[in-house]
Structure formats: structure tokens, C-alpha cells
Homo-oligomer: A and B are copies of this chain.
Amino acid sequence: MPEYHQLTPELVSQLAEIVGVDNCLTGEDIAEDYAHDEMPIYGTRMPEAVCLPATTEEVAAIMKLCYENSIPVTVRGAGTGLVGGSTPLYGGVVLCTMRMDKILAYDMDNLNVRVQPGVRLCDLAADALDHDLMYPPDPGEKTGSLGGNVSTNAGGMRAVKYGTTRDYVLAMTVVLPTGEIQHIGRAVTKTSSGYSLLHLMIGSEGTLGVICELTLKLVPNPREDMSFILPFENIESAIESVPKIKLAGLNPQSIEFMERDIVDTSAEATGNHVFPTEVNGCEAGAYILVTLDGNDEDEIFMRAERLAEIADGQGAFDTLVVQDPSQKESVWAARSSFLTVIESDTDLIDEMDVVVPVNVIADFLKYVHEVGEQNGTRIRSFGHAGDGNLHIYCCANDADQDEFLQQSAKVMEAAYAKCAELGGQISGEHGIGHAKKDYLRASLGETPINLMAGIKAVFDPKCILNPGKICS
């Protein structure tokens, strides 16, 4: 790790000159939030200054100054990360992009939009709808920034049909660690023009460059969508239905799974009982929630009939149509409540978002529940059955923080090892940050991490940009 310098009063005043004195915070003006993301359990560290630039040129000037003076810089969007990715581990400057929050221009001929990185996902999604367009990536956290979404290759519910954030980034303007401004990618959908620096930047968690503008692909908004609740006896039979649904060519927008346990806790906490617990005289132990979209209601109904046949053949107790708007809202409100409900039901929480092949989801969950039990923690989970991306939470029973972290580390270690054994990956959409670094290395081995570290050094020879993350 290279040697970093501390910010001097002179450097602070130079930063203040770049972004304006109101947008350069130091000392007690820095809110405690800047010391961590949504998982302070992974450690906190206050930065020496927080800069809130408004333009690419300001970002470039900040980076140039920090590069010349070996000051570490950590980029932060909305701070909704879950792996400590925006924690300024070595102090220095937090460069917060949330003042760069403009939706710049739609290109209706080429179906794309230019945005600044501080635009929140929910704001782009709503604005695109006003243009009768859809921005498909749909991670659970709607208030995250698009810069953050790209930095973690955020996935979400609709990945089964539409892919992840990666598939919607056409081009970006980045500031390299040295302060140089570069335009990477172009607003075209097909390219074979040298190594893909664009795809390298996507998912690099703010370690290779600062994203200052994005050109994102949009699609015509499907006119209709319909969801279906499939109650099953248990998680095994629920998960077994997933490959069959995918193979049938129904092209579902999403296939989510939920265990009864979570559904009950959510219903208790929110009073929203939209997932039926008893169906046709059978007690539901798990659910699959399928959404179909398209431009024609009749055509969706035809696919729905086929879905019902498959569900029936797989032992679902019914195929319940969620069609009217209020019911739809209830279902998705319940789905969205899961994380909050889990969090409010425990004092301490640790989480993983592994991705495994679809046909081993049930085996994997069973294994993690067992390991959780052996280590005195409660395991709760839900996630994206259609793409194998599982959100799994370790919840403290009565343990204090130190004891819980030890328990949770044992669960994580065993679970990540199992995940690798089953052909999965450490993270489906949250990223590595610093919390999952050791697990990434254990899962991939030394060589890929060394290649990543080599790439990092090519972009950032002084390692000033978000040091201590992924591979540095």
C-alpha cells in the first residue's frame, strides 16, 4: 500500500476553491454518515474532507490535486451500498456525486438517455416512464444513485428477462485517478473496438475512475404486466419449478422466491396479508412470484395459462393472478418490505448476496440454514429465483456485537465456500467493497486477484482511488 498524505489547510482551501466553500466540508461539518455505507458493522472511518462537485471539470480538478498530493479519494453516491464500498478506509477526501443529479437528454431515435451519476434510480425510472420508456434494471434499493448502480453492476428483479445494469450502459465519461477526463464507450449497441474499458469500469466499485456522466439504454415501456403468486409446500418444490418456467419460453420479467417465515414476519409487521398462507386446504411453505410483461393483455393471458399448467405439474397449490392495481401494489409492497422487516426484527445483521446456478438454490439454502443453526444465528432469506441471486441474512439472536461477528464470520466462510463449490459467485449485485475481499480471494484464487490488482495499478499507479477495496 503506497504512502498517503494528509490534507493540509492549504489543500483544503484549494478544494474549496474548486467546488465552492459550501460544498467542501471539513471537521464537525462532516455528517457521521460519510464514515460508512448502510453496513457500519463492517467498520467506519471519518474522511478529512467531503467534496460535492457539480461538474465533470470540478471532479477532474479534485482528482488532479489529490493525485499530485497522494491524497486518497473515495467516491460516494447515495450511500446505499452494503459491502463498505464507499467507506473512506484511509481517510482523505470523500467525493460525493449527489449534486450531479441532472437527467441531461433523451435520444428518442437511439433509445438512450444521458444522466449525471447522482441521479437516483427511482427518479430516472419515473422520468423514463413519462417518455413511455423503461429503464429495466430494478434493484430493490430504489434510492441508490445510478453511478453507484453502475459501479456495482446492480441487478434486481427484472434481470431474468432484461439483464443487469451492465446491459444498459452504452457509454460513460470518467475522470481517471490522474484527473484526465475520458469518454469510454459510445452510444451504439454493438462494438468490437479494442478491450472493453467500458465493461471493466462497470462493476469496478469506484476504484478505476470517477463516473461523471452515463449514457444508458432504454427500452419501449411494455404496456401490460401481470404477476402471479404460486404457493408451494416448501422451498424445494418451489425452486424446482423455476427451470421449467424458464424453459417454457414464457419470457418472465421476474421470478422471485420467498420463504413462509419472511412472509409471516412481513405480514405481522405491515398488516399486509397479500400472500395467502392456506391455499385450497394446503399450508404454503414457500412462494414463487412470477411477473410477465408485454404489449398485449390477451397474449399475456395465453402465457399465463401455460404458466398455470406448469405450476400445477410442479405441485403448486394454485396460480393466483395479481392483476388489479391495488393488489399489485400490495404484493410488491410486501416484497419490498422484506429487508426492512428482517432488520427491524433483530439487533444485528450481516448479509450476503451470493449467486448460484438456479437448480442448486434449494440445496444451498438448506446448507446455510444448517450452518446458521450450528453457529447460533438465525438465517433468513429471499431473492431472485430466476437468476440464482440470493439475499441471505444472518440475524443475531441474543449475541453482542463481537460474539455475533464471530458467529457470522463462521457462517459466511462456510457459505461462500459452499457457493464456490456449487459454481456460484460471491456477489450477484452488491459487490465486494472491503467487507467481502477475503471471500473473493478465497473463491477465485490468487491469480485472478493479482490480475485485478495489476489492472488497478494501470489505471491508478498511486492507488489513491478508493483504496482497500476489491483487490487493493
A350 within 8 A of B: no
Across the interface, name the chain B residue whose C-beta is closest to A112: B357
Residues of B within 8 A of A423 (CB): 186-188
Q: Which residue, of A192, A208, A426, A455, has the highest number of chain B Cβ atoms within 10 A?
A: A192
Distance of A91 from chain B, by nearest CB (Å): 24
Does B109 contact A359, Cβ atoms closer than 8 Å?
yes
Is A432 in contact with B220, judged by CB distance below 8 angstroms? no
User: Does any Cβ of B come within 8 Å of A92's Cβ?
Assistant: no
Given contacts A299-B296, A359-B109, A190 and B202 within 8 Å (CB-CB): no
Q: Among the listed B155, B204, B296, which residue makes an inter-chain contact with A302, where contact means beta carbons less than 8 Å apart?
A: B296
User: A46 contacts the other chain (Cβ, under 8 Å)?
Assistant: no
A159 proximity list for chain B (CB < 8 A): 189-190
Cβ of A222 < 8 Å from any Cβ of B? yes
Cα A153 to Cα B193 in complex, Å, equals 9
Q: From B108, B152, B202, B458, give the contact of A454 (CB < 8 A).
A: B458
Give the distance in Å from the alpha carbon of A302 to the alpha carbon of B299 in the complex. 10
Whether, in the assembled complex, A197 has its beta carbon less than 8 Å from a beta carbon of chain B, the answer is yes
Residues of B within 8 Å of A167, CB to CB, are 163, 167
Assess whether A191 is in contact with B448, with CB atoms less than 8 Å apart: no
State whether B186 touches A430 (Cβ < 8 A): no
A442-472 residues with Cβ-Cβ distance < 8 A to B are 443-444, 447-449, 451-452, 454-459, 470-471
Contact A186 B111 (CB under 8 A): no
Q: Is A249's CB within 8 Å of the partner chain B?
A: yes
**A452 / chain B contacts, CB cutoff of 8 Å:** 194-195, 197
A109 to B, closest residue via Cβ: B359
By beta carbon, the residue of chain B nearest A449 is: B194
Taking the closest CB of chain B, its distance from the CB of A268, in whole angstroms, is 31
Residues of A22-48 whose CB lies within 8 A of B: none
* Complex copy number for this chain: 2
Q: Does A89 contact B (CB under 8 A)?
A: no
Instruction: Contact check, A195 vs B155: say whether CB atoms are below 8 A apart.
Output: no
Known contacts being A188-B357, A194-B471, A432-B193, is A247 close to B459, with CB within 8 Å? no
Chain B residues near A153 (CB, 8 Å)? Answer: 191-192, 196
- When A109-B357, A302-B296, A425-B188 are in contact, do A193 and B247 touch as well, CB less than 8 Å? no
Is there a chain B Cβ closer than 8 Å to A440's Cβ? yes
Stretch at the interface among A326-334, A370-378, A381-389: A381-389
A428–B203 alpha-carbon span in the complex (Å): 23
Please tell me if A88 contacts chain B, counting CB pairs below 8 Å: no
**Given B109, B180, B204, which contacts A195 in the complex, CB threshold below 8 Å?**
B204
* A269 interface residue (CB < 8 Å to B): no
Kindly list chain B residues whose C-beta atoms are within 8 Å of the C-beta of A444: 193-194
Task: For the complex, give the distance between the alpha carbons of A296 and B432 in Å.
Answer: 43
Shortest beta-carbon distance from A239 to chain B in Å: 10
> Is there a chain B Cβ closer than 8 Å to A6's Cβ?
no
Q: With A188-B388, A459-B451 given, is the CB distance from A243 to B108 under 8 Å?
A: yes
Smallest CB–CB gap between A181 and chain B, Å?
10
- Please list 15 pairs of residues, one from A and one from B, whose beta carbons are closer than 8 Å in the complex, sorted by A's number: A109-B358, A163-B167, A184-B448, A186-B423, A186-B424, A187-B357, A188-B355, A189-B387, A190-B389, A190-B428, A191-B203, A194-B203, A194-B432, A199-B199, A296-B299
